[in-house]
Amino acid sequence: MALLEVRNLCKSFRDSGKAVHAVNGVSFSLEAGTALGLVGESGSGKSTLARLVLRLLEPDAGSIRFNGTNLLDLDFHGMRAQRRWLQIVFQDPFSALNPRMPVHQLLSEPLLNFGLIQSGEARAKASELLALVGLDDSGLFRFPHEFSGGQRQRLCIARALSLQPRLLVLDEPTSGLDVSVQAQLLSLLQRLQKQFGLSYLFISHDLRVVKAVCGQALVLKDGRVVEAGSTRQLFSRPSQAYTRQLVEASKALSLAKF
Ligand SMILES: Nc1ncnc2c1ncn2[C@@H]1O[C@H](COP(=O)(O)OP(=O)(O)O)[C@@H](O)[C@H]1O
Ligand SMILES: [Mg+2]
């Protein structure tokens, strides 16, 4: 059984009276312990799809089976219980972190909220999480603005992993970062995936970034999947003109080899 099975997912928005079909009949399966890429140009519906999968947004139609449960059947409490297993990392790590919380609190808050640790364990847990993403204890009492963009994204990853989720949705996690910082984060994500047998739904407009982390990928255009396959094959032998364009754009974008 697939960990995540999305069937015929649809979501449209009204934009000055006109309907925009942001996600238009998307289906895919994600096997446990694998990383699936989702690639497409800006506006193709990637973030909408990510938010639908986490039910941060309600779809117009379709189903989302996670570990055998249709998430759309769940009420607020049922969904809250599932949230532990499904976490998201956004592109902008600054807006994702409460600026008034020191790191030890940012990292232990989800665990305390779910009642998974006692307050006396919070500090040690935060320190463990920092180490996991390659940061040291000197950061425990600092605030998000005292970290670089790449470090802040590491904090978001640590916080998302604190609950030991089964699935991590990563929406352009490295897009705002310098190429070298991007490469370091990608290798961290690869290592964490292997270490914990994590499953990723990894979103990027850059096919080369997706290829660094994912074996398989979907190509999204105007809210529809236009091509799917191994990232190696999509990169070297794309069957759609749109995918070829993404490959060319990606080669131009990425100055470093991953
Ligand atoms: N809340 C919203 N209201 C209106 N239109 C939206 C909203 N969110 C997304 N859209 C539109 O849906 C389409 C897909 O957007 P998005 O999912 O953000 O794409 P991507 O992440 O691939 O850049 C775009 O045309 C965008 O303008
Ligand atoms: Mg987006």
What is the C-alpha separation between 140 and 136, in angstroms, rounded? 8
pLDDT at 251 (0 to 100): 85
Backbone angles phi, psi at 134, to 5 degrees: 80, 25
Does pLDDT of 118 surpass 80?
A: yes
Structure tokens at 175: 């897009």
Amino acid residing at 137: D
Average pLDDT over residues 33-50: 97
Say how far apart CA 129 and CA 124 lie, in whole Å.
9
Residue 12 Cα to ligand 1 middle (Å): 9
Residues with CB under 6 A from ligand 1: 13, 15, 20, 22, 40, 42-48
What confidence tier does 93 reach under pLDDT thresholds 50, 70, 90?
confident
pLDDT class for 13, splitting at 50, 70, 90?
A: very high
Pocket test for ligand 1, best of 20, 88, 218 (most atoms within 8 A of CB): 20
d(CA 105, CA 77): 24
Q: What is the pLDDT of residue 158?
A: 97
Residue 136 CA to ligand 2 centre (angstroms): 31
Residues around ion ligand 2, judged by CB within 5 A, are: 46-47
The residue whose CA has the least distance to atom 24 of ligand 1 is 43
CB 218 within 8 A of CB 242: no
Give the phi and the psi of residue 161 in degrees, each rounded to 5.
Answer: -80, -15
39: pLDDT strictly greater than 90: yes
CA distance 192 to 179: 20
123, two tokens: 């500090």
Task: Name which of 39-43, 50-54, 58-62, 246-250 the model is least confident about.
Answer: 246-250
Q: What's the CA gap between 101 and 105, in Å, rounded?
A: 6
**How many Cβ atoms sit within 10 Å of the Cβ of residue 251?**
13
CA-nearest residue, atom 26 of ligand 1: 43
pLDDT confidence of residue 255: 54
Helices (H), 102-230: 103-113, 122-132, 149-161, 179-196, 207-213
Max CA distance (Å), the chain: 57
pLDDT digits (tens, 9 = 90+) for 159-184: 999 999 999 999 999 988 998 999 99
10 CA from centroid of ligand 1 (Å): 13
pLDDT at 257 over 60: no
